[in-house]
A = this chain, B = another copy of it.
């Protein structure tokens, strides 16, 4: 059990849903509000990306439901998840909806909030550390700097499962560093698009798999070589392209 005293914490009212980000994986990167929610929730409805060490922080009696979307397997549709949350809230439960990373950064949290709102369920959003920032930080990569003043975050997988239709030429000229979520399976096509848009073959690229977890893997490569080099890596992964991918750990970084 975890005790949090001395800080005013909001009341998790029965019949409400807290849409909460679990962060990138390290339980120490949970927010205090997320940890509080884990200790007082009646039910937890979580994604596949939420670490078991985080779920283990809830009391053992709490009901847990895994509604994670995994590629290649049958998983609940978004409307079914919303129906489930509404039904649990109507039964008077404190419902913790726990998503990996941040619920509003490529987490489609707004769709769940809209569904819950339409059903009259009181909701709260608790942002979480997004893997696209916390993952690079964990390996000493700064996405911004004195000469690196813009960073773009985007998904490598659109709603139809393909690479999204983006203006690649503008993306390459707009921000110095690009950070892709859910891009590992589309890496060949993404690097082809960026190369055709004018990004040099030797542009630095870093691939971070399961960042901040005990299974973390980091690959440093270049635009022209990363798709081949990353062929055996498994999602979830964050791909950093540009000057932000250059930094790495100092020798005495812990």
Contacts and interface: CB of A to CB of B under 8 A. Distances in A.
Contacts of A33: 26, 28-29
Interface string A159-171: 1000010110111
A231 interface: no
Interface stretch (A66-74, A120-128, A202-210, A220-228): A120-128
Interface stretch (A3-11, A42-50, A185-193): A3-11
A33 to B, nearest CB: 4
A32 B99 CA distance: 17
Using C-beta atoms within 8 Å of the partner chain, give the interface range for chain A: 35 or more
Copies of this chain, whole number:
2
A144 B251 CA distance: 36
A195 interface: no
A230 interface: no
Contacts of A123: 250, 252-254
Interface string A1-22: 1111111011000001000000
Contact of A29 (B32, B134, B145): B32
Query: Nearest 3 pairs between A and B by C-beta?
Result: A117-B250, A170-B173, A150-B154
